[in-house]
């Protein structure tokens, strides 16, 4: 704001900026050429199954009801709807989305039916993803997950298939049209290698060990095909430090999904006495989400290299998987790990002002926080935890029978953002709008995805 006695100088500065651009004014002031605009970066952190209840559980347990996590401190907040569409009629909503349909909405800006991965209902046509569009425009790209890399969320950003469980070459009987045996693009892991993001970190080592039956890589395992595509393949957390920018990096840190950070809680009917969660013995060769995120940011943004920037999706996948198992401690531990990753991503965004950080779930999940006094009457499994406040917190899981997998729910989700374009998430939006916001930050538009801008 201009002080009164400086209004003449301020007015002159404004006129100069209008005539010659604000960059020229900065150059005059500092006696040097205007700096290049900051790189355009997008970091999308997805908590699989991260709904409001999961966040509240983690906050209460870890910090207390009045505490604030890193995610709570992000300045722009809103909500997003998550519905899918039905396979029979794509004009009709399916109110409870699975991870494949919801990740497709985030990755492509298009609704699809449950179990589809970045493909269109009816036609099976591939839907262009934000990662693919960014890659074509010269951006570096990366996918990070604590699940197998063939799981629905990472798969939806770099592969296209009509059935999410066609993970590797050995499971393609369910997706014959996509099989390389019939000239198709192959399984999810085969397609990930062909799409060739600069960084692929996650689990699924067993899938990458499967042989490819046909096509240019016939007879090779998927991991060997990755090496032929230029990837440096690593398998332990210690190997991460040996990676350098340049060649694409494929980190396969678990045979399947990662080991949960915290040991399971004991869900019962009715709730038992309050317990504290216990840390798990995660294998030393499995990195944390924070370690993978830090390495991905280092590889995607080398300070001495040119380029427009990067797109990175990093997923805390085990929040969802522990919720399916009615495991409150496991769910909370994975949410706390995601929150630590939020702090890392925000720190990077603060140091790199062209960076947009978005944190969101893909769908809601089962847990509810209920009054411990009435836990005996809750129609489902319950766990009571002793929180940081020293108070009992009872969590109920009641979307399926005892011993069966708990299920997703269709509630809207909180969404958080930091950086340029962060205010676009304020209010109620849909998951498909997050795709549009990310394209906007990258300087792309919906026309690049084969449709007009919204």
Q: CB-based contacts of 323: which residues, under 8 Å, 6+ apart?
A: 49, 54, 331, 365, 366, 367, 397, 406
b/e per residue 315-345 (b: at least 16 CB within 10 A): bbbbbbbbbbbbbbbbbbbbbbbbbbbbebb
Domains of the chain, each with CATH number or no CATH? 37-449 (3.40.720.10)
Cis amide bond preceding 270, omega within 30: yes
Q: CB count, 10 Å around CB of 446?
A: 16
Burial bucket for residue 206 (CB in 10 Å: 0-12, 13-18, 19+)? middle
pTM of the model: 0.90
Query: Which tokens go with 134?
Result: 């960014």
**R_g of the chain, CA atoms, integer Å:** 23
Spatial separation of the C-alpha atoms in residues 242 and 235, rounded to whole Å: 12
Under a CB-based contact definition with an 8 Å cutoff, are residues 412 and 369 in contact? Answer: no
* Catalytic member of 79, 99, 179, 187: 99
Dihedral, CA atoms, 108, 113, 119, 125, nearest 10 degrees?
Answer: -120
List the pLDDT tens digit at each of the 454 positions of the chain: 343 333 433 444 433 333 334 343 333 333 334 456 788 999 999 999 999 999 999 999 999 999 999 999 999 999 999 999 999 999 999 999 999 999 999 999 999 999 999 999 999 999 999 999 999 999 999 999 999 999 999 999 999 999 999 999 999 999 999 999 999 999 999 999 999 999 999 999 999 999 999 999 999 999 999 999 999 999 999 999 999 998 899 999 999 999 999 988 877 766 668 889 998 878 999 999 999 999 999 999 987 556 789 999 999 999 999 999 999 999 999 999 999 999 999 999 999 999 999 999 999 999 999 998 888 888 888 999 999 999 999 999 999 988 899 999 999 999 999 999 999 999 999 999 999 999 999 999 765 555 543 3
Residue 99 annotated as catalytic: yes
What Å distances lie between residue 224 and 147, 217, 294, CA to CA? 21, 9, 26
Cα–Cα distance between 312 and 154 in angstroms, integer? 11
């Amino acid at each position: 704001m201009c002080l009164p006695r400086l209004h003449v100088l301020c007015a002159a500065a404004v006129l100069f900026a209008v005539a010659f651009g604000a960059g020229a004014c900065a150059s005059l002031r500092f006696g040097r050429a205007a700096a290049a605009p900051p790189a355009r970066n997008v970091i999308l952190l997805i908590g699989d199954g991260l709904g409001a209840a999961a966040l509240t559980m983690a906050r209460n347990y870890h910090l207390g009801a009045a505490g604030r996590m890193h995610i709570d401190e992000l300045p722009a907040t809103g909500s997003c709807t998550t519905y899918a569409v039905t396979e029979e009629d794509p004009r009709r909503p399916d109110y409870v989305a699975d991870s494949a349909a919801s990740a497709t909405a985030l990755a492509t800006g298009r609704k699809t039916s449950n179990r589809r991965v970045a493909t269109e209902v009816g036609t099976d046509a591939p839907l262009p993803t934000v990662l693919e569009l960014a890659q074509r425009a010269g951006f570096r790209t990366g996918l990070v997950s604590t699940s197998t890399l063939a799981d629905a969320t990472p798969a939806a950003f770099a592969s296209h298939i009509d059935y999410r469980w066609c993970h590797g070459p050995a499971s393609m009987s369910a997706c014959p049209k996509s099989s390389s045996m019939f000239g198709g693009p192959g399984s999810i892991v085969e397609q990930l290698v062909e799409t060739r993001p600069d960084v692929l970190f996650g689990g699924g080592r067993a899938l990458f060990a499967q042989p490819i039956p046909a096509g240019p890589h016939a007879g090779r395992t998927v991991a060997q095909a990755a090496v032929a595509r230029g990837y440096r393949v690593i398998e332990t957390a210690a190997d991460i430090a040996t990676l350098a920018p340049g060649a694409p990096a494929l980190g396969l840190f678990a045979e399947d999904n990662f080991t949960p950070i915290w040991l399971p809680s004991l869900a019962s009917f009715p709730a038992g006495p309050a317990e504290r969660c216990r840390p798990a013995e995660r294998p030393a060769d499995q990195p944390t989400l924070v370690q993978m995120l830090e390495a991905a940011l280092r590889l995607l943004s080398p300070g001495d290299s040119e380029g427009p920037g990067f797109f990175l999706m990093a997923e805390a996948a085990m929040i969802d998987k522990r919720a399916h198992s009615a495991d409150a401690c496991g769910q909370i531990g994975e949410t706390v790990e995601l929150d630590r990753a939020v702090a890392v991503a925000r720190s990077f965004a603060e140091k790199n002002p062209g960076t947009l950080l978005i944190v969101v779930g893909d769908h809601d999940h089962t847990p509810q926080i209920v009054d411990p006094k009435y836990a005996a009457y809750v129609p489902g499994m319950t766990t009571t935890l002793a929180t940081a406040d020293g108070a009992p917190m009872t969590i109920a899981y009641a979307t399926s029978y005892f011993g069966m997998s708990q299920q997703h729910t269709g509630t809207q989700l909180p969404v958080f953002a930091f950086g340029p374009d962060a205010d676009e998430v304020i209010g109620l939006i849909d998951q498909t709008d997050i795709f549009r916001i990310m394209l906007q930050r990258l300087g792309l538009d919906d026309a690049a995805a084969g449709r007009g801008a919204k």
